[in-house]
Amino acid sequence: MKGKALVIGGSLGGLFAGNCLRQIGWQVDIFEKTGDDLASRGAGLGTHDEIFAVMEHLGIEVDESIGVSITRRYNLNRKGLFDYSIPVLQRQSSWAWFYHALRRIFPDAHYHVERALVRVEQLQQGVRAHFDDGSCAEADLLIGADGIRSTVRAQFAPQAQPQFAGYVGWRGILKEADFPRPLHKEVFEKYIFGIPDGQMFLGYPVPGVNGDLRLGHRGYNFVWYHPIGDENVLRQLCTDDKGHCYGTAIAPPLIRPELIRDIRALAKEKFAAPIAEVLALTPQPFFQAIFDLACPSMVFGSVALLGDAAYVARPHVGMGVTKAALDALQLAQRLESSHDIASALAGYNDTQSRFGHAAVQWARHLGQHLEDQLKPPEARNPKIRVQQPEVVLRQTGARITEIPGLANVIDLPRSSGRVPTWVAAGGL
């Protein structure tokens, strides 16, 4: 079946959807609310094999420029010893690499910037989208790929709201050139976990600015999951030094300097010296609140939700982009093999809702130890009191086929196996 689709949101989810539908002969227009260079927003990105399979399916060559491969994960304990490690091949790429590759193959004439959707109207056949400049567009199908604060979802499932997990991820990228030699030798080419009680730190090498893979030009990306409390505490963190509160997110330069001082001091208390040093040397650490989201349905008449608009799993699964790619591929495959849109969307809703639900549940399981810290000590779950490196290193960012409830929901696409493994220099 062929037809016309409107995609709301021009980020990775929207681009996967637009390209997958064009490939089966659909006419597609993408509408993106901002006019900014989206590539500049991205940071390091953990990958799964399935995302490469979807890229290859779209005819995109995945070459060495994809990023840095790491072959081992290490636990760095409080005393500064690497006391446990396991072999795991992981390719760390950048958000911008995927964005540029997907944007390049989507025609400019059909990618409309500074067009924000305000409302969707279901027609007897198809849909009409209304935009903030007063214009409208009609099609057979509308895909809401407009992220965790989706306008499309707000209209059709207003009860589905992002849930704050009670912790933030302090993040940053330290340039390779800014590493003192001994610290570089000790940690730079390692995927490191630091998991003292109630905290979780992950650090790993990523491509440098503009995907630069040259020695000395890469970056070291870290995320430190740190429990803070409820949304009121989050709002206090998102208040600048003039007392203005920005809600549940704040731009990095506006973060109060004392918060950064405090977090650097706490890093010295909680983690081994190399982790505290990475925090101390990173010029502008910033935080992102961790939310998750589960929508009761992904389909409403001729409207389908995709990617973060429908389900957001906490980042412990490193699944956001892969899930968006799999949603897009499934949607295209269903549309291609069905006689009508309604039955294609019913099949899409069935598999992708189960997939999204299982991803959210698994990520909650991986974050339960962090959430538990917010309870009084006597109310904490003794079974998850201590984080075991043997479990955490294996379960974080695991392969889809190893995640309970995810492996058998859909036929997972397999990459050709030709995706290069660019092992960080020095060998691990």
List contacts with ligand FAD (CB under 6 A). 8-14, 31-34, 38, 45-46, 116-117, 145-147, 151, 169, 223, 288, 307-309, 315, 318-322, 324
Nearer of residues 117 and 139 to ligand FAD, judged by Cβ: 117
Strand stretches in 77-182, DSSP E: 82-94, 111-113, 117-122, 127-131, 136-139, 141-144, 163-175
Q: Please state the closest distance from residue 205 (CB atom) to ligand FAD, in A.
A: 14
Q: Please state the closest distance from residue 339 (CB atom) to ligand FAD, in A.
A: 28
Q: Please state the closest distance from residue 324 (CB atom) to ligand FAD, in A.
A: 4
Nearer of residues 95 and 186 to ligand FAD, judged by Cβ: 95
The structure tokens 């977090």 sit at 263
Distance of CA 143 to the CA centre of its chain: 19
Q: What share of the chain is helix, strand, coil (3-state, %, to 5)?
A: 40, 25, 35
Nearer of residues 126 and 318 to ligand FAD, judged by Cβ: 318
Q: Please state the closest distance from residue 39 (CB atom) to ligand FAD, in A.
A: 11
Nearer of residues 46 and 219 to ligand FAD, judged by Cβ: 46
The structure tokens 């935080």 sit at 287
Q: Please state the closest distance from residue 287 (CB atom) to ligand FAD, in A.
A: 9
Nearer of residues 133 and 241 to ligand FAD, judged by Cβ: 133
Nearer of residues 13 and 285 to ligand FAD, judged by Cβ: 13
Nearest to 102 by CA among 17, 27, 217: 17
Q: Please state the closest distance from residue 373 (CB atom) to ligand FAD, in A.
A: 18
Q: Give residue number: closest CB to ligand FAD.
A: 320
Rounded Cα–Cα distance for residues 57 and 54 (Å): 5
Rounded Cα–Cα distance for residues 229 and 315 (Å): 18
Torsion angle of alpha carbons 147, 365, 77, 67, nearest 10°? -40
In what helix (H) or strand (E) does residue 303 lie, and over which residues does it extend? strand 303-305
Nearest to 164 by CA among 62, 323, 291, 66: 291
The DSSP code sequence of 334-345 is: HHHH-SSHHHHH
Nearer of residues 160 and 186 to ligand FAD, judged by Cβ: 160
Q: Please state the closest distance from residue 383 (CB atom) to ligand FAD, in A.
A: 26
Q: How many CB atoms lie within 10 A of CB 210?
A: 11
- Calculate helix-pair angle for 95-104, 49-57, nearest 10 degrees: 20
Q: Please state the closest distance from residue 173 (CB atom) to ligand FAD, in A.
A: 12
Q: Please state the closest distance from residue 363 (CB atom) to ligand FAD, in A.
A: 11
- Distances 218 to 76, 99, 300 between C-alpha atoms, Å: 22, 19, 44
Nearer of residues 49 and 186 to ligand FAD, judged by Cβ: 49
Rounded Cα–Cα distance for residues 327 and 156 (Å): 19
Nearer of residues 21 and 324 to ligand FAD, judged by Cβ: 324
